[in-house]
Amino acid sequence: MKKYKHLFFDLDETLWDYKANAHETLIELYEQFNLGSNSDLNVEDFVAEFFRTNEELWRKYDKRLIVKDQIRQDRFPLIFERLGVDGHKDIDVEALQKNFIYESPKKGKLIDHAAEILITLSKHYSMHIITNGFEEIQTTKLKYSGIEKYFQQVITSERAHAQKPDPDIFLFALEAVKANISESVMIGDNLISDIQGARGVGMDQVFFNPDKRNHDLEVTHEINYLFELSGILLNV
Ligand SMILES: [Mg+2]
Protein backbone atom coordinates (compact mmCIF):
# COMPACT_ATOMS: atom_id res chain seq x y z
CA MET A 1 0.00 0.00 0.00
CA LYS A 2 1.21 3.44 -0.86
CA LYS A 3 2.10 5.70 2.00
CA TYR A 4 1.45 9.02 0.30
CA LYS A 5 -1.41 10.44 -1.72
CA HIS A 6 -0.21 13.99 -2.24
CA LEU A 7 3.13 15.15 -3.59
CA PHE A 8 4.08 18.77 -3.02
CA PHE A 9 6.90 20.01 -5.25
CA ASP A 10 9.03 23.10 -5.03
CA LEU A 11 9.40 24.75 -8.47
CA ASP A 12 12.66 26.69 -8.96
CA GLU A 13 15.72 24.47 -9.16
CA THR A 14 13.67 21.41 -8.26
CA LEU A 15 11.68 21.18 -11.52
CA TRP A 16 12.24 24.41 -13.44
CA ASP A 17 15.89 25.09 -14.23
CA TYR A 18 16.14 28.65 -12.94
CA LYS A 19 19.88 28.97 -13.55
CA ALA A 20 19.83 27.76 -17.16
CA ASN A 21 16.75 29.80 -18.03
CA ALA A 22 18.05 32.99 -16.42
CA HIS A 23 21.41 32.47 -18.09
CA GLU A 24 19.85 32.18 -21.53
CA THR A 25 17.76 35.31 -20.95
CA LEU A 26 20.74 37.35 -19.75
CA ILE A 27 22.73 36.52 -22.86
CA GLU A 28 19.81 37.65 -25.03
CA LEU A 29 19.45 40.88 -23.06
CA TYR A 30 23.18 41.54 -23.30
CA GLU A 31 22.82 41.54 -27.09
CA GLN A 32 19.50 43.34 -27.21
CA PHE A 33 20.65 46.20 -24.97
CA ASN A 34 24.08 46.38 -26.60
CA LEU A 35 25.78 46.04 -23.25
CA GLY A 36 29.05 45.22 -24.97
CA SER A 37 29.25 48.56 -26.74
CA ASN A 38 27.29 50.67 -24.25
CA SER A 39 29.68 49.68 -21.50
CA ASP A 40 32.91 47.79 -21.19
CA LEU A 41 31.07 44.83 -19.77
CA ASN A 42 31.76 41.37 -21.03
CA VAL A 43 28.94 38.90 -21.00
CA GLU A 44 30.53 36.49 -18.51
CA ASP A 45 30.97 39.21 -15.88
CA PHE A 46 27.43 40.40 -16.43
CA VAL A 47 25.98 36.91 -15.97
CA ALA A 48 28.19 36.09 -12.97
CA GLU A 49 27.31 39.32 -11.19
CA PHE A 50 23.64 38.73 -11.85
CA PHE A 51 23.75 35.40 -10.03
CA ARG A 52 25.78 36.81 -7.12
CA THR A 53 23.49 39.79 -6.59
CA ASN A 54 20.31 37.88 -7.25
CA GLU A 55 21.17 35.21 -4.71
CA GLU A 56 22.04 37.83 -2.14
CA LEU A 57 18.70 39.61 -2.67
CA TRP A 58 16.73 36.35 -2.48
CA ARG A 59 18.53 35.48 0.77
CA LYS A 60 17.49 38.84 2.17
CA TYR A 61 13.95 38.21 1.00
CA ASP A 62 13.96 34.77 2.66
CA LYS A 63 15.06 36.43 5.90
CA ARG A 64 12.32 39.02 5.42
CA LEU A 65 14.82 41.87 5.32
CA ILE A 66 13.38 43.15 2.06
CA VAL A 67 10.06 42.80 0.24
CA LYS A 68 9.79 41.05 -3.10
CA ASP A 69 9.39 44.23 -5.16
CA GLN A 70 12.83 45.30 -4.00
CA ILE A 71 14.34 42.28 -5.72
CA ARG A 72 12.88 43.46 -8.99
CA GLN A 73 13.73 47.13 -8.46
CA ASP A 74 17.21 46.85 -7.01
CA ARG A 75 18.64 43.92 -8.91
CA PHE A 76 19.93 45.42 -12.14
CA PRO A 77 20.90 48.87 -10.80
CA LEU A 78 22.92 47.07 -8.14
CA ILE A 79 24.52 44.77 -10.70
CA PHE A 80 25.62 47.70 -12.88
CA GLU A 81 26.85 49.63 -9.87
CA ARG A 82 28.92 46.69 -8.70
CA LEU A 83 30.34 46.18 -12.15
CA GLY A 84 31.41 49.80 -12.17
CA VAL A 85 29.29 50.71 -15.16
CA ASP A 86 29.29 54.40 -14.47
CA GLY A 87 25.83 55.83 -14.08
CA HIS A 88 24.86 53.27 -16.74
CA LYS A 89 23.67 56.28 -18.71
CA ASP A 90 23.36 54.65 -22.09
CA ILE A 91 21.58 51.62 -20.73
CA ASP A 92 17.85 51.66 -20.18
CA VAL A 93 18.02 49.73 -16.91
CA GLU A 94 14.31 49.92 -16.31
CA ALA A 95 13.51 48.40 -19.70
CA LEU A 96 16.15 45.73 -19.21
CA GLN A 97 14.70 44.91 -15.83
CA LYS A 98 11.17 44.63 -17.18
CA ASN A 99 12.38 42.54 -20.06
CA PHE A 100 14.12 40.08 -17.81
CA ILE A 101 11.01 39.62 -15.70
CA TYR A 102 8.86 39.22 -18.78
CA GLU A 103 11.12 36.93 -20.79
CA SER A 104 12.86 34.58 -18.37
CA PRO A 105 9.71 32.79 -17.07
CA LYS A 106 8.93 31.90 -20.69
CA LYS A 107 12.04 29.77 -20.94
CA GLY A 108 11.25 26.12 -20.69
CA LYS A 109 14.35 24.29 -19.56
CA LEU A 110 13.59 21.78 -16.84
CA ILE A 111 15.90 20.00 -14.42
CA ASP A 112 17.09 16.65 -15.84
CA HIS A 113 14.45 13.89 -15.74
CA ALA A 114 11.74 16.27 -14.46
CA ALA A 115 9.37 15.81 -17.39
CA GLU A 116 9.63 12.01 -17.41
CA ILE A 117 9.23 11.57 -13.69
CA LEU A 118 6.23 13.92 -13.55
CA ILE A 119 4.43 11.92 -16.25
CA THR A 120 4.98 8.71 -14.33
CA LEU A 121 4.14 10.03 -10.88
CA SER A 122 1.03 11.86 -12.07
CA LYS A 123 -0.56 8.46 -12.79
CA HIS A 124 -0.31 7.54 -9.11
CA TYR A 125 -0.51 10.74 -7.09
CA SER A 126 -2.20 14.10 -6.70
CA MET A 127 0.54 16.62 -7.35
CA HIS A 128 0.86 20.26 -6.35
CA ILE A 129 3.41 23.06 -6.20
CA ILE A 130 4.45 25.04 -3.14
CA THR A 131 6.66 27.92 -4.19
CA ASN A 132 8.01 31.18 -2.79
CA GLY A 133 7.38 33.28 -5.80
CA PHE A 134 5.19 35.66 -7.66
CA GLU A 135 1.88 34.11 -8.71
CA GLU A 136 1.97 35.34 -12.29
CA ILE A 137 5.60 34.42 -12.85
CA GLN A 138 5.40 30.92 -11.41
CA THR A 139 2.29 30.20 -13.48
CA THR A 140 4.08 31.37 -16.63
CA LYS A 141 7.02 29.05 -15.91
CA LEU A 142 4.69 26.07 -15.49
CA LYS A 143 2.82 26.87 -18.68
CA TYR A 144 5.81 27.50 -20.93
CA SER A 145 7.74 24.48 -19.69
CA GLY A 146 4.72 22.30 -20.41
CA ILE A 147 4.29 20.84 -16.92
CA GLU A 148 1.27 22.85 -15.77
CA LYS A 149 -1.07 19.95 -16.59
CA TYR A 150 0.45 17.67 -13.96
CA PHE A 151 -0.48 19.87 -11.02
CA GLN A 152 -3.81 20.34 -9.37
CA GLN A 153 -2.91 23.30 -7.22
CA VAL A 154 -0.17 25.87 -7.35
CA ILE A 155 0.39 27.42 -3.94
CA THR A 156 2.53 30.54 -4.12
CA SER A 157 3.67 32.59 -1.15
CA GLU A 158 1.68 35.41 -2.69
CA ARG A 159 -1.51 33.37 -2.54
CA ALA A 160 -0.86 31.88 0.90
CA HIS A 161 0.32 35.18 2.43
CA ALA A 162 3.19 33.24 3.94
CA GLN A 163 6.47 31.98 2.55
CA LYS A 164 8.38 28.78 3.11
CA PRO A 165 9.63 27.78 5.70
CA ASP A 166 6.71 29.43 7.52
CA PRO A 167 4.34 26.62 8.66
CA ASP A 168 1.40 28.71 7.44
CA ILE A 169 2.13 28.12 3.75
CA PHE A 170 2.25 24.34 4.29
CA LEU A 171 -0.95 24.40 6.32
CA PHE A 172 -2.57 26.58 3.66
CA ALA A 173 -1.52 24.07 0.99
CA LEU A 174 -2.85 21.06 2.91
CA GLU A 175 -6.15 22.83 3.43
CA ALA A 176 -6.35 23.94 -0.22
CA VAL A 177 -5.97 20.39 -1.54
CA LYS A 178 -7.78 18.70 1.36
CA ALA A 179 -4.78 16.55 2.28
CA ASN A 180 -3.64 15.07 5.58
CA ILE A 181 -0.08 15.65 6.68
CA SER A 182 0.56 11.92 7.07
CA GLU A 183 -0.29 11.22 3.42
CA SER A 184 1.77 14.12 2.06
CA VAL A 185 5.39 14.65 1.17
CA MET A 186 7.36 17.77 0.22
CA ILE A 187 10.02 17.50 -2.49
CA GLY A 188 12.51 20.36 -2.80
CA ASP A 189 16.10 21.51 -3.19
CA ASN A 190 16.25 24.00 -0.32
CA LEU A 191 17.14 22.62 3.09
CA ILE A 192 15.65 25.55 4.94
CA SER A 193 12.55 26.57 3.04
CA ASP A 194 11.46 23.18 1.70
CA ILE A 195 12.88 20.63 4.10
CA GLN A 196 12.88 22.37 7.47
CA GLY A 197 9.62 24.01 6.51
CA ALA A 198 7.87 20.71 5.83
CA ARG A 199 9.48 19.13 8.87
CA GLY A 200 8.16 21.98 10.98
CA VAL A 201 4.58 20.89 10.33
CA GLY A 202 5.41 17.17 10.59
CA MET A 203 5.33 16.50 6.86
CA ASP A 204 7.73 13.96 5.30
CA GLN A 205 10.34 15.38 2.95
CA VAL A 206 12.48 14.41 -0.01
CA PHE A 207 15.61 16.55 -0.17
CA PHE A 208 16.70 16.95 -3.80
CA ASN A 209 20.46 17.46 -3.51
CA PRO A 210 21.97 17.48 -7.03
CA ASP A 211 25.22 19.11 -5.86
CA LYS A 212 25.65 16.49 -3.13
CA ARG A 213 26.07 19.16 -0.50
CA ASN A 214 26.99 18.04 3.00
CA HIS A 215 24.53 18.76 5.76
CA ASP A 216 23.58 17.38 9.13
CA LEU A 217 19.86 17.79 8.93
CA GLU A 218 17.65 14.79 9.42
CA VAL A 219 15.59 14.25 6.28
CA THR A 220 13.04 11.54 5.44
CA HIS A 221 14.57 10.85 2.02
CA GLU A 222 17.41 12.31 0.03
CA ILE A 223 18.10 12.06 -3.72
CA ASN A 224 20.72 13.40 -6.12
CA TYR A 225 18.66 12.82 -9.29
CA LEU A 226 14.96 13.26 -9.84
CA PHE A 227 14.57 9.78 -11.35
CA GLU A 228 15.35 8.39 -7.90
CA LEU A 229 11.85 9.49 -6.89
CA SER A 230 10.50 6.34 -8.54
CA GLY A 231 12.42 4.22 -6.05
CA ILE A 232 10.85 6.05 -3.14
CA LEU A 233 7.37 6.61 -4.51
CA LEU A 234 6.73 3.68 -6.84
CA ASN A 235 8.81 0.97 -5.18
CA VAL A 236 10.76 0.31 -8.35
MG1 LIG B 1 14.00 25.68 -5.09
Query: What residues does 16 pair with on adjacent strands?
Result: 12, 110
Neighbours of 135 (CB within 10 A): 14
Neighbours of 1 (CB within 10 A): 2
155 or 84, which is more confident: 155
Where in the chain is CATH 1.10.150.240? 18-106
Classify 196 as helix, strand or coil. Answer: helix
In this structure, which amino acid lies at residue 136? E
Where does the pLDDT of residue 85 fall: very low under 50, low under 70, confident under 90, or very high at 90 and above? confident
Fold of 6-16+109-233: Rossmann fold (3.40.50)
User: 33-41, long-range: CB within 8 Å, 24+ apart, which pairs?
Assistant: 33/91, 33/92, 33/95, 33/96, 35/91, 38/90, 38/91, 39/80, 39/83, 39/85, 39/88, 39/90, 39/91, 40/85, 41/83, 41/85
CATH number for the domain running over 18-106? 1.10.150.240
Angle at 119 between CA 178 and CA 177, to 5 degrees: 10
User: Residue 1: is its pLDDT beyond 50?
Assistant: no
H/E run at residue 156: strand 153-156
Reported in sequence order, the residue ranges of 1-151 that DSSP labels E, i.e. its strands, are: 6-9, 126-131
What is the CA(34)–ligand 1 centre distance, in A? 32
Report the share of the chain in percent with pLDDT over 90.
Answer: 81
What is the CA(189)–ligand 1 centre distance, in A? 5
Query: What is the rounded CA–CA span in Å between residue 127 and residue 142?
Result: 13
User: Residue 31: is its pLDDT beyond 60?
Assistant: yes
What is the CA(8)–ligand 1 centre distance, in A? 12
User: What pLDDT does residue 41 have?
Assistant: 86
Angle at 53 between CA 159 and CA 132, to 5 degrees: 15
Where in the chain is CATH 3.40.50.1000? 6-16+109-233
- Please write the tens of the pLDDT for every residue from 99-157: 999 999 999 999 999 999 999 999 999 999 999 988 999 999 999 999 999 999 999 99
What is the CA(205)–ligand 1 centre distance, in A? 14
Q: Are 163 and 141 in contact (CB under 8 A)?
A: no
What is the CA(188)–ligand 1 centre distance, in A? 6
- Please write the tens of the pLDDT for every residue from 192-229: 999 999 999 999 999 999 999 999 999 999 999 999 99
Residue 114 CA: distances (Å) to CA of 13, 15, 32, 119, 209: 11, 6, 31, 9, 14
Burial of 209 from C-beta contacts in 10 A (0-12 / 13-18 / 19+): middle
User: Residue 9: is its pLDDT beyond 80?
Assistant: yes
Report the share of the chain in percent with pLDDT over 70.
Answer: 97
Query: What sign does the CA torsion over 157, 159, 161, 167 have?
Result: negative
What is the CA(121)–ligand 1 centre distance, in A? 19
Where does the pLDDT of residue 88 fall: very low under 50, low under 70, confident under 90, or very high at 90 and above? low
What is the CA(13)–ligand 1 centre distance, in A? 5
What is the CA(10)–ligand 1 centre distance, in A? 6
Max Cα–Cα distance, the chain, nearest Å: 64
Q: What is the mean pLDDT of residues 179-187?
A: 97
What is the CA(39)–ligand 1 centre distance, in A? 33
